[in-house]
Amino acid sequence: DIVMTQTPLSLSVTPGQPASISCKSSQSLLHSDGKTYLYWYLQKPGQSPQLLIYEVSSRFSGVPDRFSGSGSGTDFTLKISRVEAEDVGVYYCMQGIHLPPTFGQGTKLEIK
């Protein structure tokens, strides 16, 4: 299985400040079809996960533009330009290039 490693595992951010989460995969997520199958999810407290970013950098419907994704190959980053109180929860990266899909361990975002 492809191993997804996230850092940091937790971060505490002042509202209005930026935040960044790194995700590294044990194999390249670039498919022969030209797409890179890396996704970001947020699981807010007591809720189901929700899709934020698909294929590295595309925002899912309704996701605020303060969220952005970047990276290539095996190294990826999720950035929040200005953290808001509603952004608290656990962020997961996920690879979809090989079955079974695998998630990172999760990064818990708290508000200072």
Sequence-distant (6+) residues with CB within 8 A of 75 are 22, 23, 24
Among 24, 81, 105, 111, binds other proteins (CB under 8 A): 105
Work out whether 39 is an interface residue with other proteins (CB under 8 A): yes
Q: Are the CB atoms for 93 and 6 separated by under 8 Å?
A: yes
Binding span for other proteins by CB under 8 A among 18-26, 48-56, 72-80, 81-89: 48-56
Nearer to other proteins among residue 34 and residue 100 (C-beta): 100
Work out whether 22 is an interface residue with other proteins (CB under 8 A): no
One-letter amino acid of 81: S
How remote is the C-alpha of 59 from its chain's centroid?
A: 11
Per rule CB under 8 A, count of chain residues that contact other proteins: 24
